[in-house]
Amino acid sequence: MRHILYDKLPSELRERVKGADDLETFFGGWPRIHDSEVIRLELDRAGPTLTFELDAFVTSNETDQRGYFKLEHRAVVTWRAHEISDLEIEDFNRQNVLADLALSLEEQEGKVKLKVELAGIFGVQASFLCDELIVLKMEPTIV
């Protein structure tokens, strides 16, 4: 898996991620997912779709009195992937901390699909292909 940090999501990926502009406006760029947590995963055979929620945040370079980076923006982001295939999920449990949410394009049976990888630090690891990824909702939380 490639861990690439984007200031803004590249156009070839942006056309597959509906709501990318809203995320970038709130977070001040494409959010870094490192240390974000997967709160919920939900599969629906209609579609089929996969809906997942991430507690995502952006930190500054400043640290607090405990030595932790200060949070600048934080939100629970609900995503839905449509027409999923090649789904792999492992180790979902009470805490699911991510190293990365990696997006790339991959060809499958002559059709270009969006590949989504939830790279776990602790707990869930997941990957799948989908036609599009939609930001359904973004609920800012107290920083």
Q: What's the mean pLDDT in 125-129?
A: 97
Q: Chain-wide mean pLDDT for the chain?
A: 91
Q: What's the mean pLDDT in 129-135?
A: 98
Tokens for 14, please give them: 């942006």
**Domain boundary assignment for the chain:** 11-140
pLDDT at res. 68: 86
Give just the sign of the alpha carbon dihedral 123, 129, 134, 136. Answer: negative
d(CA 123, CA 31): 21
In this model, does residue 4 exceed pLDDT 50? Answer: no
The model's confidence at residue 31, banded by pLDDT at 50, 70 and 90, is: confident
DSSP 22: H
pLDDT at res. 37: 96
pLDDT at res. 2: 39
The pTM of this model reads: 0.89
d(CA 23, CA 33): 12
CA distances from 119 to 29, 86, 96, 101 (A): 20, 16, 10, 6
